Amino acid sequence: MFLKEEKRLFMKENESTSHNVVIDAILKKIGDQDLLVFMMEKEHKIQLNSSDCQQCIKELFSDILTLMLRKAVTINLRVEDSYSNTLMIDVCKAYVKDLNKEIAQISKTLPEDIKIDS
């Protein structure tokens, strides 16, 4: 399990060392829920078994876009050792790959004058 302090240290460490930030997306199972947890300053938990996660996804994208104004963003999928649903692993691999492509496309189209120097 990750502590909130560890999440903050992870983000701060990446933000302070370069103009790039890597966000870990951790695939895990809690109870009967498959979760994809994005380790950002505000942790985003996407419940993969639920069709009611649209608001969570919107908030995640908003936070990623805001971060992209300051940093180059990459998502890194990590799968907990105890996680065994191979279908969900494959789905999340494809999702993160597509998400990184979208992030790269959006980054190329962001006007320089709206980017924030940090």
In which residue are the tokens 């320089």 written? 112
CA 44 – CA 101 distance, rounded (Å): 20
Is residue 100 pLDDT above 50, yes or no? Answer: yes
Q: How many CB atoms are located within 10 Å of the residue 107 CB? A: 13
Return the pLDDT at 114: 65
Domain locations along the chain: 4-112
pLDDT in tens, 3-26: 444 444 444 444 434 578 999 999
Token output for 39: 């380790």
pLDDT in tens, 30-71: 999 999 999 999 999 999 988 888 889 999 999 999 998 888
Band of pLDDT at residue 85, cut at 50, 70 and 90: very high
Q: How does 50-62 read in b/e, with b if 16+ C-beta sit within 10 Å? A: eeebeebeeebee
CA 89 – CA 79 distance, rounded (Å): 8
